[in-house]
Amino acid sequence: MKYLDEYRDGELAQRIAREVHRVTTRPWNIMEVCGGQTHAIVKFGIDELLPEHITLIHGPGCPVCVTPLEIIEKALDIAARPNVIFTSFGDMLRVPGSTTDLLSVKARGGDVRIVYSPLDAVKIAEQNPGREVVFFGVGFETTAPATAMAIYQAAQKELKNFSMLVSHVLVPPAMEALLSSPDCKVQGFLAAGHVCTVMGFEEYFPVAAKYHVPIVVTGFEPLDILQGVLMVVQQLESGRAEVENQYARAVRREGNQPAQKLVREVFRVIPRKWRGVGEIPQSGLGLNETYAAFDAEKKFGVAEHRVEEPAECISGLVLQGLKKPQECSAFGTKCTPEHPLGATMVSSEGACAAYYRYRRR
Amino acid sequence: MEQNDHFALSCPIPISQYPHVLLAHGGGGRLMHQLIGKMFLAAFRNPLLETQHDATVVELAGKKLAFTTDSYVVRPLFFPGGDVGSMAVHGTVNDLAMSGARPVYLSAAFIIEEGLPMETLWKVVCSMQQAAQRCGVQIITGDTKVVDKGKGDGVFINTAGIGVVEHDQKIAPQNVRPGDGVLVSGDLGRHGMAIMAVREGLQFESAIESDSAPVQDIVLALLKAGIEIHCLRDLTRGGLASALNEIAEASRVRIGIEEKSIPVREDVHAACEMLGLDPLHVACEGRFIALVAAKDVERALLVMRGQGTGAGSAVIGRVAESSAPLVTLKSAIGVSRILDMPSGEQLPRIC
């Protein structure tokens, strides 16, 4: 397929991999931030082409994985109510709360629907004026403009029966949180390409300078990732810590400014809990006062739900790159994609699910 | 777990994790296999059922017959490249063909939702009749039920089929041997993506049309050519990945396939990429895999390609010895990894 096959060329991949081998003289730990990159690495076996002492650490960049249990519980509560149509992206449906998941709520009669765009949820609200339509707004900066647009349009249309359970998170604060941890092993980053398509990469300059880490904005195809790794290793080997853009075919330094403007119009930056990591300051998006009427937490009175995470699951350590999925005693036994204990096993982009699917035996 | 006296006389429900049936239990993946294994196989256990083939071969009065059944609950009823009626014929005919049988008779049972326009039903029935004629089978018995409005999706159809087995080969998931070649009868994933595109209102530049078609001619041609066939399996729910895993499990072998050699049409590939789905997990309705003896692989490919619906056939892999059943895929960049069975329903990814 055009624009994809070019980036999956086996021979070119081998050539870049050889170059990585050539320039690598020491062990390095590199984190790919985005779950989409983790998925590609494991699916194509990219890490197996790399020198043994380059370790890829799978970062917290899977929106499904980092959505806190608390918000899942709120979603389950709202979705089970009569007269509610609960809309969500597909893979949120399997995320386990403390006792159940959205698929089970649906099986017991809840009206839970998969949508491909938040705007579809607005359409459903228009078509069902007698019912409450709730959209589960999760994701990073990548999906934030689309959710913002849904709220914006719902406001323009003065829809009273549409609201959103917002759990948007931001990437750079999470990278900073990881870097400021004393246990941090990460020496360089592949920044999430699609996040930067929206946000640009100016916000990474202070991070690279403050923590002296190379940050390379990287795409999602095998050649992108291999080239991103090569660029990080070249920086590390020469003692540089710069922000570079591997994904220039999609990312501009300033990003997509109309999209950023829309996000600022609808959302404000707030502290947010990350599943398995804890609360990170300035790491989430919440609705602006002007759009408070669309806040599902307020509308359904679930704002005060508090839930503790299960102790057995090490997804927090996995998300921080401190443990590999196989190091968990529940991996592949008590915890599988059919019956996940933690969110990293749920999403196809979660590190545990990716390892389970491609590396189990 | 301790036995509770109160329930001692009834069967405990063997599935402990989900107290309710999920849609995913019908998705052709691991959850469905667990359901079948723990519920249906456990309750109905017998050697014939345990072959777990698409159709079961039985001997009656000295004749070998193949028998199968399938239900069709597709929404929408009409989709690019087919409809529920033709699918209900092709699907069951194909299940029979997977045992190497020549399909002869079908039954047709209709569960109709109150309010379905007669004209719609007539279109479905006509399509069934045409498909049956094309496949050379007769529909010789049937049943009609009507359910309340809202209790069905227009019309559900069940067909059962009987075919005659006129060969002496042992074609079953248990009979695959190291060295066997793996062939697929055409490009993958079109039916699933055609349905998803219509159902979810996704628009692509051109409509993806379903691959729904009968495959018995290809199978009968293989048998006629004297190809040593070890297993046949049609690639419905769960797609290629499920079929290969089932076979690897049944024969306790390793099946290695190559991503590059697997035919997937460009538009299907693009649609899958967009939705974050894997074409190897997506359902087909007119495709099957054949696992044939090493000596016959090249000849089998020629025979398959020589049949109309098999023109796009390809050799996609080999079977190897293994201590544990396993399916591996050599990725586009040349690294091998596990090809797992999908878990439940195919859920589109966020980003």
pLDDT tens digits, A12-38: 999 999 999 999 999 999 999 998 898
The C-alpha angle B32, B33, B37, rounded to 5 degrees, equals: 120
- What backbone torsions phi and psi does residue A135 show, to the nearest 5 degrees? -110, 135
Among A69-78, B188-197, B205-214, the range scoring the smallest mean pLDDT is B205-214
If you average pLDDT over residues A171-183, what whole number do you get? 90
Q: Do A114 and B340 touch (CB under 8 A)?
A: no
Residue of A nearest to B268 (CA): A1
Contact by Cβ (8 Å): B54, B93: no
pLDDT of B54 strictly over 50: yes
Q: Do A90 and B202 touch (CB under 8 A)?
A: no
Cα–Cα distances in Å, from B19 out to A81, B12, B104, B231?
20, 12, 41, 36
Contact by Cβ (8 Å): A102, A114: no
Query: Using one digit for the tens of pLDDT, what is the confidence trace for A73-103?
Result: 999 999 999 999 999 998 788 888 878 889 8
Query: Using one digit for the tens of pLDDT, what is the confidence trace for A214-231?
Result: 999 999 999 999 999 999
Q: Which helix (H) or strand (E) element contains residue A296?
A: helix A296-299
Q: What is the ipTM of this complex?
A: 0.78
If you average pLDDT over residues A241-245, what whole number do you get? 98
Contact by Cβ (8 Å): A294, A154: yes
Return the DSSP state at A335. Answer: B
Q: Which helix (H) or strand (E) element contains residue A2?
A: none
The CATH code belonging to domain B46-165 is 3.30.1330.10
Chain A CB contacts of B193 under 8 Å are: none
pTM, 2 dp: 0.84
Residue of B nearest to A40 (CA): B331
Distance from CA of A239 to the nearest CA of B (A): 30
Q: Which helix (H) or strand (E) element contains residue B279?
A: none
- What backbone torsions phi and psi does residue A209 show, to the nearest 5 degrees? -70, -45
Residue B349: which of A43, A90, A358 has the nearest Cβ? A90
Burial category of B115 from C-beta neighbours within 10 Å (exposed 0-12, middle 13-18, buried 19 and up): exposed
If you average pLDDT over residues B98-126, what whole number do you get? 97
Query: Using one digit for the tens of pLDDT, what is the confidence trace for A118-170?
Result: 999 999 999 999 999 999 999 999 999 999 999 999 999 999 999 999 999 99
Chain B CB contacts of A356 under 8 Å are: 340
If you average pLDDT over residues A232-242, what whole number do you get? 98
- What backbone torsions phi and psi does residue A334 show, to the nearest 5 degrees? -80, -20
Query: Which bin fits B239, alpha (ψ -120 to 50), beta or left (φ > 0)?
Result: left
Q: Do B332 and A10 touch (CB under 8 A)?
A: yes
Kindly give, in sequence order, each residue whose CB lies less than 8 Å from that of residue B231, ignoring residues fewer than 6 positions away.
B171, B172, B173, B175, B176, B247, B251, B290, B291
Ranges of CATH 3.40.50.11740 domains, chain A: 1-313
Tell me, what's the pLDDT at B340? 85
Q: Do A357 and B340 touch (CB under 8 A)?
A: yes
Query: What residues does each domain of chain B span?
Result: 46-165, 173-338
Q: Do B333 and A222 touch (CB under 8 A)?
A: yes
In which band, very low, low, confident or very high, does the pLDDT at A71 lie, cut at 50, 70 and 90?
very high
Return the DSSP state at A309. Answer: P
Distance of CA B128 to the CA centre of its chain: 19
Contact by Cβ (8 Å): A12, A224: no
CATH classification for the domain delimited by B173-338, as one of 3.30.479.30, 1.20.210.10, 3.40.50.300, 3.90.650.10:
3.90.650.10
Tell me, what's the pLDDT at A191? 97
- What backbone torsions phi and psi does residue B325 show, to the nearest 5 degrees? -60, 140
B residues 300-339 closer than 8 Å to A (CB): 324, 326, 331-338
Q: B20 in contact with A at a CB cutoff of 8 Å? A: yes
Q: Which one, of A132, A169, A166, lies nearest residue A151 by Cα? A: A166
In which band, very low, low, confident or very high, does the pLDDT at A335 lie, cut at 50, 70 and 90?
confident
The CATH code belonging to domain A1-313 is 3.40.50.11740
